[in-house]
Structure formats: C-alpha cells, structure tokens
C-alpha cells in the first residue's frame, strides 16, 4: 500500500514544482508555451502586513521614474485604500485591467504632485519587469466576530498582489472540499484587504484539480468549477504536476488570470468568469489562424469553430474579437449576427464583457453599435479599433447600394450562426465586395454535406479549426441533456374509430368497409402519425385546450414549484399564418388563469411575442390588433407602458423577464412564440420547451438548446422538452438531429442506433423508471450501511461512503420529482400530492424515509462538520425531501405547551408521546442550531430543570409562542451547566453562572480567546486560593495548585468549545 502524502509534504512539493524547472521558450507540441519564467518563493512573507510591504516595494520599483523615493505612510495609505475598497471580484477584475490593459492607481503626493502609479501592464505577461512570487501559510486573523483565525495554503502573487489562491488536500480528500473551504473563507470576509484582488481559486489534491473564478458568497457555485483538459484529446488533467506545468506555469497562469477571464457586467449579475479549457484552445486556434492569414489573398477563409449551443460560444467569440482587435495585422473587427434582436443581445453581451464599459458610458466602450447602414459604413471607415456589431441583413443592404465601395482595410469578419438563415449565398455576395477581408465562423449547428443544395459551413469559412459537440459538453457538465416527452392530445380510440375511417374513405373511395377495418386493425403507431395531417392539430381548439391543460397540470413538477420558466412554440403548416394559432394558445391560457383565479388555484404569467405586421397584406390588421391586445394585458400585468409604437422595447422587456434580468418586476412564467427566441436566447432559468409543431435538424438542436444551460445541479438536472404532435415521427427527427450534432458520422446510423447513441452519450435523459431503479440501488446500499436506517455506519470510511451516496440520492430525488405522472410507467411518475408512492417505489416506508432525510442526514453533516472544521450550516450537502416538509411553528408551540402541562401534572405517558412529537419536528428542520435548541428545551422540561422552581408559571399554562419557552429554557440549561461547573471547581463567590455565560459567549471554537481583559487569569488566580475548601469534586480538591490552574484552563476551554458547537 502506497502511503499518501501529508498536506505539508504535498505543499512543499507543489512549491518546489512552481519554482524549479527548465525555462523553455520554444512551444511544445500542443502549441502552449510551458515556462518562460519561474515563480520565486518568498518564505519570509507570512502575514498580511508583510504582503503589503512586499507589494509596496514592487510598486515603488516599477514606478521609480515617477517617485523620488519610497512612498510615505500617507501616500501608501491611499494605495491601500483603493485596493481594499474593491468590494467584489468583479470590481477587482476591472481594477486589474485598468484602461487599455494598464492598471494604475492615483496618488496625491506629500509634495503636492498628482501621480499615476502603474500596477499591471497586460502587454508584459510573462515578460518585462513583471514580478512572479509564491507565498504560503499566510496567517489571517478572524474578520467577523465568532469566526476562527485562518491560514491560506499557497498564494500566487503577480507584481505583489494575490491573484491565484490554491488550497491543497491530501489524497484521501476531494478537490471539492478545497473549494468548499475557500467558499467558507469568502463567507468569513477573509478575501478582503490585499486579498481583494484574487481572481482564480484552485482546489488541488495529488490526483484531482479544479479551478474557478473568484466570486461572492451568494454566487458561489461549484457547477462553474472546471477540470483542465488536454488539447489533443480533451481528456481531463488530474495529476497535480501536469496541471501545475500546464496551467500554473508562467505565462499560462498570468494568461488565464487576465486574457482568459471575463468581466461580466450584466446588470444585477456582475461577476467574474474564467474560460473553460475548450474555450481557451478555440480562442488560441482562432488567433493563430488570424496571425497566419495570407496578406496577398483577396479573401481569407480562416475556418470555423463548432461549439454546441449553450457551451459559452459568445464568450469565446468575444475573446477572439477582443484579442484580434489589438493585433497589428487587423484594422477592424466586425461581428455579424442574424436579425435585429440578436444584434441587441450580442451588443449587450459584448458591452457587458467589455472591461472598459464599466459605467454604461458608450464613450468608454470598445464595442460599436450599428443602428442603420449609414452608421455601419461610418464605423467601418473609422480608424479606431472598435469591434463593430451588425446583422447580416444590414451588411447585405449595404453592399447592394449602387455607390458602395468597401474601405481599403484589413477587416476581420466574425460570424455567429448568421449563415444558417441565408444558406450562405448572401455571404458570397458580401465576401466579393470586401477585398482583403478575413472570415471566421462560430456555429453550434454547422451545415453538413446533406444540406440539400445549400452551401456547407466549410464552403463559407474554410475547415473546422476547433470542435466541441453535445457529447463533449454533456460529459464535461457544461451543458445539460434533455428529458423529452412525446405526447398526443388525441385519444387513440378516437383516431381509430372516427378519424381514420373517414380518412381512408376519402383517400380510397373504392375500398370496402371490411378493407378499411382490416387496414385500421393492422396499423402501427408510425402509420397513425403518417396518416394524421397538420389540419388535425392546426387551429384546433380541442387540441389547444388539451395542451394548456397538460401544462397547468404538470407545471409544479416541471418548473420546480415556479423556480424556472418556459417557452411554447407553435407553427401552422401549408404557408398559412401561425400567429392566429399562437393567439389561440394565449387566449386559452388567459381563460384558464381567470378560472383558476376564481377557484383560488395557481395562475401563470403568460405573454406572446411576434413582430408587428407592416406588409399591407390581408392579415395585417388582425395581427396588429392581436399584438395590441397582448401588449395592453402585459402592461396591466407588469406595470409597463408599451404600445405598437414601442414593440421592440416590449420584446426587450419580455426577454429580460425571461432571463430574469429585470429583478425589480415579476419574471415571466411562459412565453408563446412562433420562431422568435428559439435561437440565441441565453436564459439559464428557462428549463422547459413546449413544442406544438415539427422541428428537425439544426432548428431542433437550436430550439432544444434554449433549455440546456447549467444553473443548479439539483433543481435543473436537464432541460424539459414536451412535444404534442406526431409522437413517433418527431421522436425519429429528434434522434436523428441530436445524433448528427453529437458526431457528424452518426448520420449513417439506423434510427434505433441513433436513439441508442443519444441515450449512451446522455444527450437524452433516462426514463423515469430507469432513474427509479438507479435510486433503488442507492437506497439499498444506504440501508445496508445504516442497519436499516437506524444509525450511521461505524467506520469513518463507511461514513464518507454514506455521505457520497446521500448526495447521489438527493440528486436522484430532485430528478424524479420533475417527472410528471405517467400511467404507462411501471412506477407511475411523480405526483406531489401523493409522495408516498415514490417512497414505496424506492423500497422504503415513511418512517425510514423520514429517518434518512432528517436524523441520518443531520448526523452525517455533523460528522463532516467536525472533521472539516466547517459549520454544519455551511456544508454543501443539500437535502431534497420526497415529501415536502411543512414547518408549522404553531404545531411546535402547541406541543411544547402540552409537554409543560403534562410534566406538571405527572402525566408521564402522555408526556412521552409529546416529547417524541417535538423531537420528530426538530429532526425535520434543516436549521440544525435551532433543532438542537428545541431538543435542549424538551430535555429541560422533562428533567424539570425548566421552569425553575418558584418561577411565575400558572397552570394549565397557555403558551403564546414557542420562542419564549425555547429562549428561557436554553438560558436556564446553560446557567445550570455553568453553575455545576462553578461548584465542581470551587469558584463560588468568585463568578456567577450568568457572568461565566457572558465570558464564553463570543468564544471561537478551538481558539484560546477567553483571557480578554485578564478575565481567565484572574479567575485562575482567585480559584486556586479557595478550591481546596469549596470544590465539590474530590478529584479537583486533590490537584496541586499548578495542576489546578492548568486543568481549570483546559476544562473551561473545552466547555466553551462545547457550548458554541451546540
């Protein structure tokens, strides 16, 4: 057996790896420079003040031309203030970027001068006078009262400022534990002061490492922590040495913390983002292709990047555009999208990511909008290196102008999906007009060989230079798979007995009734779909009513009790208008809402989005009247004031509510569309797409992908897709589309093989019954470990195994609760009104389920909390209850009142039942501190410690609130404990129980902090004068004076530890 390294040994080896090795200027085979510099270890830096002095020295050295000597205390205080005033990692990122990549600090010098001191210069990454240092075991005193002092494992400093924080764990632990530890530090405000500048957090064990962007406590989410991957085959880098060489060497670490960070300034959601490995590699490939362009060619097709929708394509394209705009061989970058609404979305995203667009001032933005072709040509001719965002439609109108001449510039066109709607022909027209231009494509759904006459993506842009498919993204947990239902609103009996006989009579007038009956008796489900034409569904009120009823019936499951929202898309065939069908849905939702309102049932906030009609066609008046009616209702619902003169603003507001950007108003529950919002819309809190139409190929993948954004690993395990037409046909189309965009070679597979591939690659979620069977196995193993859910496992290893199983169990339960009832399922789906059915299906009874989800869950949390030193309330172990727990504090008040009266009247049998009820209530609470208070109160009442003899309780006692008893009982119990301690150690007449309680109230677990104002020293000195006579404990009286002092100090600290941990 190989002995695992201690954390200290691991830390020493890690630092040695960072600070030694060969400087290698040539690039390795993967194209990444390994080491151009080495980190310098600074063993003497161990405190925050020493960090400040180190930073001060470097700052003075780098700005010696602006300074006459060292900064005075008053001058450096200004520097420290500007850094310590950085309240969020996002603000720190803005500070570190500065303007044009140069970060500076303003200082008013003592001699009256006003100087700018340079902190960072991004042009000096891995070069110039940039200083790279590594420190370890930095001591951090507690910031918040009651929190412990901390030590940070390893910190990487660039120019003296902490940029990357690494917490190490030995092999028996998980990298997530290190991330949890840093989350704890964030909640304790430890990443303030000079550590305000931290950008990246790394959790490392010898065989696993994850990294993530620094964040605020409320936005900390390990779903956005990533493994590094090898460039050649996308396999995960788990070995710490390889990760250190690949990611934490110089300049790679500096690049990751600067060039591959995103400052996301989305209003109300400002945060730092760090790029994933595939985004970094794609950006590197794109920039290399741009650098390698042939200057003699009139048209350079640089290639295209295939990244599946939902995998962060916008971030990747932005970084490419941003870096390219600073290349000397590029005069202008133009980002091209399809349609106006995507131009607006891209503009908002790009400006949110623009580090210089911090205050909404367009004068400081490097992103240029193009409201019309006049602005477009003006921006193209401009000598600035701004990134121009426009639509393919504007470009097409521009190049078709008779007097248009393209500017003589080296323009880089970066195209996002716009070639899809045009089929590529428009781009040939545009490409001919722009000489010396280069073209780079980004797509989640490239056009392949079988595109029926359309130009392939490779024809427009050149070869694929990086790909990241659905299979890659799901395997890496960067997008979600899909839970797809195929429903029909028509009973099979109705189809067979009414529709099909009429259909065959019309189609085959010479058939006899016997022939028709034989045909129907032998028809398959596929045949039924084939023989149902669109008119069976289109504009059919009964069909619409059935769809809306299904949405309302299963809303609670699919939306996770309203946490997530949805889109419904419908389309009418035969070149007939689809808006009337969308309005039919809208009106049915409003009808059901009104009905539910009267009955006191839940309602949904629903609207519909389509464009105003200005065609002068026959449907124009009806379309615009419908839109006006929708907007009027929307205004009443949300307190807005849109009209037909502000339809675009209405659509923007709808999109913001769908994305939950508009936090001031209510979010939208469901949006009805025909084609809008099915591409490009990035809404992580949208989890369901209702489909009343036929989707196929790239359109299907794009539409489904509205639901695949990562958000919450428990509440959003997949995107829901519910199809309401032609179930068999649409299932085939889905399997074909998803298989091809998983791997283009899958187009040659049979339909059953495509379905198997989709399930195998987790593109399609498991069926309800399969998930039940998975959870049954978990329950079975937990049952074995816990002796039928009676107690935690005895061994430490088995306890950790149980904790892992419990996490998997909770994920499984969260998933199962989102499946609706299903009569065809063996286990029937999940009905929130009858949770007992699922409990039974998983092989448990109600008592076992309750014991598992309350007592055992809380006990394993307490075990892990003690082992890790993390408070139980901060542990990342979430409980998903099969049966929702309703916390009824009136019930608790009633039970405590009963217990008080029953103990007073000596009704001990009744009191025993009541005590059990109280403890079961406490066990159901996730707030374990409050649960312990309830247990302590019950103990105090049953043992007659509370109420105290002589207290003013009049029986039968009527309790107003459980709180009044719990607080009094806790106080009584604590004072009794301290009174007993005083008697045991002979401290009578020196200190009271109340004073001892106050003395230990602010104690921090594990710390020696009881001697404030010499209180403990005085207590020890006075106690040793009288303990021989007054201590009631024979063992205490037998101690020598020296041993008495030592043992009293230890015992009081242990007691204080116990009191604060309970």
C-beta separation of 424 from 459 below 8 A: yes
Q: Give the pLDDT band (50/70/90) at residue 452.
A: low
Residue with tokens 């400002």: 270
C-beta separation of 878 from 714 below 8 A: yes
Residue 24 CB contacts under 8 Å (≥ 6 apart), including other chains: 33, 34, 35, 36
Answer yes or no: is 1016 within a domain: yes
Which pLDDT value is given to residue 355? 61
Half-sphere CA count of 76, side-chain side, radius 13 A: 16
CA torsion through residues 59, 65, 67, 68, sign:
positive
C-beta separation of 134 from 17 below 8 A: no
C-beta separation of 184 from 870 below 8 A: yes
Whether the pLDDT of residue 729 is over 50: the answer is yes
428 and 458 assigned to the same domain? yes
CB atoms within 10 A of CB 575: 5
Residue with tokens 């074995």: 784
Run of H or E residues at 501: helix 500-507
Whether the pLDDT of residue 886 is over 60: the answer is no
Angle of helix 500-507 versus helix 513-521 axis, rounded to 10: 130
CA torsion through residues 182, 188, 193, 197, sign:
positive
456 and 311 assigned to the same domain? yes
Which pLDDT value is given to residue 1009? 80
Angle of helix 889-904 versus helix 908-923 axis, rounded to 10: 150
Q: Which of 298, 211, 261, 212 shows the shortest CA–CA distance to 96?
A: 261
pLDDT (mean) for 913-926: 78
Which pLDDT value is given to residue 603? 95
Answer yes or no: is 380 within a domain: yes
Answer yes or no: is 175 within a domain: yes
* Cα 982 to Cα 227, 1058, 1062, distances in angstroms: 55, 16, 20
Q: Give the pLDDT band (50/70/90) at residue 1.
A: very low
Which pLDDT value is given to residue 30? 46
310 and 458 assigned to the same domain? yes
Cis peptide before 168 (omega within 30 of 0): no
824 and 690 assigned to the same domain? no
**More reliable by pLDDT, 598 or 507:** 598
Burial of 126 (0-12, 13-18, 19+ CB in 10 A): middle
Q: Mean pLDDT: which of 397-401, 497-501, 570-574 is highest?
A: 397-401
pLDDT (mean) for 353-357: 59
pLDDT (mean) for 357-367: 50
Q: Mean pLDDT: which of 10-19, 312-321, 658-667, 725-734 is highest?
A: 10-19
Which of 815, 830, 860 marks a domain boundary?
860
Whether the pLDDT of residue 708 is over 80: the answer is yes
Question: Could you give the CA distance from residue 559 to residue 771 in angstroms, rounded to a whole number?
Answer: 19
Which pLDDT value is given to residue 158? 95
Rounded (10°) CA dihedral 855, 861, 866, 870: -140
Answer yes or no: is 938 within a domain: no
Least confident of 14-28, 35-49, 257-271, 467-481: 14-28
Determine what percent of the chain is predicted with pLDDT higher than 70.
Answer: 89
Residue 44 CB contacts under 8 Å (≥ 6 apart), including other chains: 50
pLDDT (mean) for 45-70: 94
Which of 697, 732, 760 marks a domain boundary?
760
* Cα 372 to Cα 376, 378, 392, 394, 397, distances in angstroms: 6, 10, 12, 7, 10
512 and 589 assigned to the same domain? no
pLDDT (mean) for 749-754: 88
Least confident of 40-44, 260-264, 700-704, 837-841: 260-264
Burial of 269 (0-12, 13-18, 19+ CB in 10 A): middle
Residue 222 CB contacts under 8 Å (≥ 6 apart), including other chains: 176, 179, 180, 210, 212, 876
pLDDT (mean) for 628-648: 92
C-beta separation of 983 from 1032 below 8 A: yes
Which pLDDT value is given to residue 635? 94
Structural domain boundaries, residue 305 = 277-468
CB atoms within 10 A of CB 850: 21
Strands 437-443 and 367-368: unpaired
Residue 851 DSSP one-character state: I
Least confident of 310-324, 600-614, 877-891: 877-891
107 and 62 assigned to the same domain? yes
Question: Could you give the CA distance from residue 30 to residue 35 in angstroms, rounded to a whole number?
Answer: 14
The DSSP string of 111-180 is: TS-EEEEEEEEGGGTTSTT--EEEEEEEEE--SSTTPPPEEEEEEEEETTEEEEEEEE--TTS-HHHHHH
Total tally of structural domains belonging to the chain: 6
Which pLDDT value is given to residue 895? 80
Answer yes or no: is 919 within a domain: no
Q: Give the pLDDT band (50/70/90) at residue 662.
A: low
Answer yes or no: is 974 within a domain: no
Which pLDDT value is given to residue 534? 66
pLDDT (mean) for 524-544: 72
C-beta separation of 673 from 608 below 8 A: yes
Which pLDDT value is given to residue 29? 41
Which pLDDT value is given to residue 3? 47
Burial of 274 (0-12, 13-18, 19+ CB in 10 A): buried
**More reliable by pLDDT, 452 or 1028:** 1028
344 and 435 assigned to the same domain? yes
Answer yes or no: is 742 within a domain: yes
464 and 566 assigned to the same domain? no
Question: Could you give the CA distance from residue 968 to residue 900 in angstroms, rounded to a whole number?
Answer: 13
Ramachandran category for residue 1013: left, alpha or beta (phi over 0 → left; psi -120 to 50 → alpha): left
Q: Which of 893, 866, 1008 shows the shortest CA–CA distance to 961?
A: 893
- Rounded (to 5) percent helix, strand, coil in the chain: 50, 15, 35
Chain segment 938-968, per-residue pLDDT in tens: 888 888 887 877 677 777 778 777 777 777 7
Whether the pLDDT of residue 361 is over 80: the answer is no
What CATH number is attached to the domain comprising 304? 3.40.50.300
Which of 826, 860, 894 marks a domain boundary?
860
The beta strands (E) that lie in 806-863 are given as none
| Phi, then psi, of 983 in degrees rounded to 5 | -65, -45
Q: Which of 578, 330, 571, 588 shows the shortest CA–CA distance to 436?
A: 330
The pTM (predicted TM-score) of the whole model is 0.76
Rounded (10°) CA dihedral 1019, 1021, 1027, 1028: 180
Which pLDDT value is given to residue 234? 84
Q: Mean pLDDT: which of 375-379, 472-476, 608-612, 771-775 is highest?
A: 771-775
Which pLDDT value is given to residue 28? 46
C-beta separation of 391 from 427 below 8 A: no
Question: Could you give the CA distance from residue 459 to residue 419 in angstroms, rounded to a whole number?
Answer: 11
Which pLDDT value is given to residue 364? 45
What mean pLDDT is reported for the chain? 85
291 and 429 assigned to the same domain? yes
Give bridge partners of residue 488 from the DSSP assignment.
Answer: none
Q: Give the pLDDT band (50/70/90) at residue 1005.
A: low
C-beta separation of 714 from 222 below 8 A: no
Question: Could you give the CA distance from residue 390 to residue 380 in angstroms, rounded to a whole number?
Answer: 11
Which pLDDT value is given to residue 533? 64
Determine what percent of the chain is predicted with pLDDT higher than 90.
Answer: 40
Q: Give the pLDDT band (50/70/90) at residue 1006.
A: low
C-beta separation of 337 from 389 below 8 A: yes
132 and 90 assigned to the same domain? yes
Rounded (10°) CA dihedral 588, 591, 596, 599: -140
Which pLDDT value is given to residue 885? 55
Whether the pLDDT of residue 348 is over 90: the answer is no
Instruction: Return the ∠ at Cα 1003 (arms to 1001 and 1004), rounded to 5°.
Output: 140
Whether the pLDDT of residue 212 is over 90: the answer is yes
pLDDT (mean) for 607-626: 83
Q: Give the pLDDT band (50/70/90) at residue 382.
A: confident
Buried b / exposed e along 209-234 (16+ C-beta atoms within 10 A): bbbbbbbbeebbebebbbbbbebeee
pLDDT (mean) for 708-725: 90
Residues, the chain:
1062
Q: Give the pLDDT band (50/70/90) at residue 418.
A: low
Q: Is 930 helix (H, G, I), strand (E, B) or coil?
A: helix
72 and 206 assigned to the same domain? yes
Which pLDDT value is given to residue 35? 78
What CATH number is attached to the domain comprising 246? 3.90.1570.50
Q: Give the pLDDT band (50/70/90) at residue 145.
A: confident
CA torsion through residues 529, 532, 534, 536, sign:
negative
351 and 260 assigned to the same domain? no
Which pLDDT value is given to residue 450? 53
Answer yes or no: is 869 within a domain: no
pLDDT (mean) for 54-74: 93
Quickly list H helices, 269-326: 277-291, 313-324
Q: Mean pLDDT: which of 95-104, 677-686, 787-796 is highest?
A: 787-796
Question: Could you give the CA distance from residue 484 to residue 245 in angstroms, rounded to a whole number?
Answer: 43
């Amino acid at each position: 057996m190989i002995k695992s390294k201690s954390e200290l040994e691991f830390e020493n080896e890690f630092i040695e790896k960072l600070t030694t090795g060969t400087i290698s200027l040539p690039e390795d085979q993967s194209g990444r420079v390994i080491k151009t510099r080495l980190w310098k270890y600074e063993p003497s830096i161990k405190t925050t003040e020493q960090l400040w002095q180190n930073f001060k020295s470097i700052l003075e050295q780098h700005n010696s031309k602006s300074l006459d000597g060292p900064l005075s205390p008053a001058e450096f205080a200004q520097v420290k203030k500007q850094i310590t005033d950085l309240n969020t990692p996002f603000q720190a990122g803005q500070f570190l970027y500065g303007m044009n990549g140069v970060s500076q600090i303003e200082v008013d010098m003592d001699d009256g001068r006003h100087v700018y001191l340079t902190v960072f210069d991004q042009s000096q990454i891995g070069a110039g006078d940039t200083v790279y240092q590594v420190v370890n075991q930095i001591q951090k005193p507690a910031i918040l009262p009651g929190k412990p002092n901390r030590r940070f494992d390893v910190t990487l400093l660039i120019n003296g400022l902490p940029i990357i924080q690494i917490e190490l764990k030995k092999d028996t632990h998980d990298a997530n534990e290190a991330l949890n530890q840093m989350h704890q530090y964030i909640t304790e405000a430890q990443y303030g002061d000079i550590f305000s500048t931290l950008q990246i957090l790394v959790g490392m064990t010898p065989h696993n490492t994850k990294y993530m962007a620094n964040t605020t406590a409320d936005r900390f989410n390990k779903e956005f922590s990533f493994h590094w991957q090898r460039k050649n085959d996308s396999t995960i880098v788990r070995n710490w040495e390889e990760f250190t060489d690949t990611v934490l060497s110089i300049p790679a670490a500096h690049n990751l913390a600067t060039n591959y960070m995103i400052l996301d300034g989305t209003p109300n959601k400002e945060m730092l983002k760090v790029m994933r490995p595939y985004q970094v590699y794609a950006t590197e490939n794109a920039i290399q292709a741009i650098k390698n362009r042939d200057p003699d060619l009139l048209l350079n097709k640089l290639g295209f990047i295939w990244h599946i929708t939902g995998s962060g394509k916008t971030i990747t394209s932005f970084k490419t555009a941003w870096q390219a705009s600073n290349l000397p061989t590029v005069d202008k970058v133009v980002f091209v999208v399809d349609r106006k609404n995507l131009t607006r979305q891209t503009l908002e995203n790009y400006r949110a990511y623009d580090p210089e667009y911090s205050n909404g001032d367009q004068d400081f933005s490097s992103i240029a909008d193009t409201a019309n072709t006049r602005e477009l040509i003006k921006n193209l001719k401009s000598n600035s290196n701004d990134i121009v965002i426009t639509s393919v439609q504007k470009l097409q109108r521009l190049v078709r102008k008779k007097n248009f001449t393209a500017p003589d510039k080296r323009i880089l066109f970066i195209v996002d999906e716009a070639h899809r709607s045009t089929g590529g022909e428009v781009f040939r027209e545009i490409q001919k007009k722009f000489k010396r231009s280069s073209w780079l494509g980004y797509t989640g759904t490239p056009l392949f060989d079988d595109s029926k006459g359309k130009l392939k993506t490779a024809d427009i842009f050149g070869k694929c230079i990086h790909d990241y498919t659905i299979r890659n993204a799901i395997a890496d947990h960067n997008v979600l798979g899909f839970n797809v239902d195929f429903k029909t609103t028509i009973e099979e009996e109705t189809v067979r007995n009414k529709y099909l006989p009429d259909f065959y009579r019309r189609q085959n007038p010479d058939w006899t009734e016997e022939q028709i009956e034989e045909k129907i008796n032998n028809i398959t489900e596929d045949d039924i779909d084939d023989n149902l034409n669109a008119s069976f569904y289109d504009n059919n009120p009964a069909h619409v009513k059935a769809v809306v009823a299904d949405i309302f019936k299963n809303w609670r499951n699919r939306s996770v009790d309203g946490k997530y929202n949805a889109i419904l898309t419908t389309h009418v065939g035969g070149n007939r208008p689809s808006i009337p069908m969308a309005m039919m849905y809208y009106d049915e939702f409003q009808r059901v809402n009104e009905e539910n309102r009267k009955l006191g049932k839940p309602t949904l906030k629903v609207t519909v989005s389509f464009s105003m009609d200005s065609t002068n066609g026959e449907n124009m008046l009806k379309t615009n009247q419908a839109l006006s009616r929708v907007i009027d209702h929307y205004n009443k619902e949300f307190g807005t004031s849109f009209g037909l003169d502000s339809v675009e603003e209405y659509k923007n507001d709808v999109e913001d509510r769908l994305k939950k950007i508009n936090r001031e108003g209510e979010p939208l529950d469901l949006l009805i569309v025909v084609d809008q919002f099915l591409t490009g819309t990035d809404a992580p809190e949208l989890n369901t797409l209702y489909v009343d139409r036929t989707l196929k190929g790239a359109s299907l993948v794009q539409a489904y992908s509205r639901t695949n954004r990562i958000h919450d690993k428990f509440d959003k395990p997949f995107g829901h897709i519910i199809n309401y037409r032609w179930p068999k046909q649409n299932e085939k189309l889905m399997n074909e589309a998803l298989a091809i965009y998983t791997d283009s070679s899958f187009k040659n597979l049979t339909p059953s093989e495509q379905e198997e591939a989709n399930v195998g690659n987790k593109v399609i979620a498991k069926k309800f019954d399969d998930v039940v069977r998975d959870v049954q196995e978990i329950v079975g193993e937990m049952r074995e470990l816990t002796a039928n859910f009676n107690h935690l496992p005895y061994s430490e290893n088995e306890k950790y195994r149980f904790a892992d199983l419990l996490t998997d169990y909770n994920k499984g339960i969260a998933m199962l609760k989102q499946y609706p009832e299903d009569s065809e399922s063996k286990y029937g789906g999940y009905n929130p009104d009858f949770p007992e059915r699922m409990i039974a299906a998983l092989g448990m009874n109600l008592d076992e389920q309750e014991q598992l989800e309350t007592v055992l869950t809380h006990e394993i949390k307490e075990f892990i909390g003690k082992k890790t030193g993390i408070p139980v309330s901060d542990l990342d172990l979430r409980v998903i209850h099969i049966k929702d727990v309703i916390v009824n504090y009136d019930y608790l008040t009633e039970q405590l009142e009963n217990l008080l009266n029953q103990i007073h009247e000596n009704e001990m049998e009744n009191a025993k039942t009541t005590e059990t009820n109280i403890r079961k209530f406490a066990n159901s609470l996730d707030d374990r501190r409050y649960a312990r208070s309830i247990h302590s109160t019950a103990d105090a009442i049953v043992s007659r410690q509370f109420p105290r003899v002589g207290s003013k309780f009049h029986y039968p006692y009527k309790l107003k609130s459980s709180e009044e008893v719990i607080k009094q009982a806790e106080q009584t119990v604590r004072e009794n404990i301290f009174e007993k301690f005083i008697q045991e150690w002979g401290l009578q007449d020196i200190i009271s129980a109340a004073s001892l309680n106050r003395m230990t109230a602010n104690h921090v677990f594990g710390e020696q902090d009881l001697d404030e104002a010499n209180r403990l020293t005085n207590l020890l000195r006075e106690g040793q004068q009288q303990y021989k006579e007054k201590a009631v404990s024979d063992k205490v009286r037998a101690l020598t004076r020296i041993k008495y002092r030592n043992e009293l100090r230890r015992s009081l600290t242990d007691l204080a530890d116990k009191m604060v941990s309970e």
